[in-house]
Amino acid sequence: MDLASYIRNIPDFPRPGIQFKDVTTLLKEKDAFRVAIDQLVEIFRKESLDLVVGIEARGFIVGAPVAYLLHCGFVPVRKKGKLPAATLAKTYTLEYGSATLEIHRDAITRGQRVLVVDDLLATGGTTKAVCEMVEELGGNIVAVSFVIELEALRGRDKLSRYPVYSLVKL
Ligand code: AMP
């Protein structure tokens, strides 16, 4: 299945000059959604993982079914101010703008093996910030994975300490 054909390009969203890769057109197609999740799961089938960390918001849609199928726990990384208990926060730069993400301080136990999941790898700033938080809490990053990778932005270079997997390279 050509997963790339299900991803819609929206020029100049949310800012002029940004080519926004809209994954909702893949998610709404039952076969494409299933194939994407199954392909991500297959990569890690033989790994022993404890947790999938998903990045708000589209990383939840992809990360939760991956966690379920790999029989892992799921930990959400959320935008500032959403998590109710004590958090660790990190501010980072995006392809467009900057943001602060938070994770519950007690979400990860030292030594747990973690897979980080998001829908899309652009500059890698988001995922790098998340990996740093996971490591600060004592987690071991086994890999980071995405449905879509915008190769020209070289996000992999920022994540060179980790195995990086993506299903669709655009
Ligand atoms: P980055 O930190 O630059 O790798 O940006 C990754 C995050 O921003 C992901 O959570 C993406 O969902 C979102 N994102 C960045 N650039 C785009 C884009 N061109 N199209 C769709 N989503 C994007």
**For 47-169, which CATH class?**
alpha beta
pLDDT in tens, 25-50: 999 999 999 999 999 999 999 999 99
d(CA 13, CA 55): 20
Cβ–ligand 1 contact at 164 (below 6 Å): no
Closest CA to 44 of 78, 7, 16, 70: 70
Structure tokens at 49: 């993982």
pTM score, whole prediction: 0.97
What is the pLDDT confidence band of residue 97, given thresholds at 50, 70 and 90?
Answer: confident
Q: With both helix axes pointing from N to C terminus, report the angle between 30-44 and 58-69 in degrees, rounded to the nearest 10.
A: 60
Examine the residue annotation and report whether 161 is marked as an active-site residue of this protein: no
Cβ–ligand 1 contact at 20 (below 6 Å): yes
Closest CA to 160 of 144, 136, 137, 140: 144
d(CA 31, CA 57): 22
Examine the residue annotation and report whether 95 is marked as an active-site residue of this protein: yes
**For residue 18, which atom of ligand 1 is closest to its CA?**
19
- Mean pLDDT across the chain: 96
pLDDT in tens, 119-139: 999 999 999 999 999 999 999
Q: Output the DSSP codes for the chain.
A: --GGGGPEEEET-SSTT-EEEETHHHHTSHHHHHHHHHHHHHHHTTS---EEEEETTHHHHHHHHHHHHTT-EEEEEEETT---S-EEEEEEE-SSSEEEEEEETTSS-TT-EEEEEEEEESSSHHHHHHHHHHHHTTPEEEEEEEEEE-GGG-HHHHTTTS-EEEEEE-
What is the pLDDT confidence band of residue 94, given thresholds at 50, 70 and 90?
Answer: confident
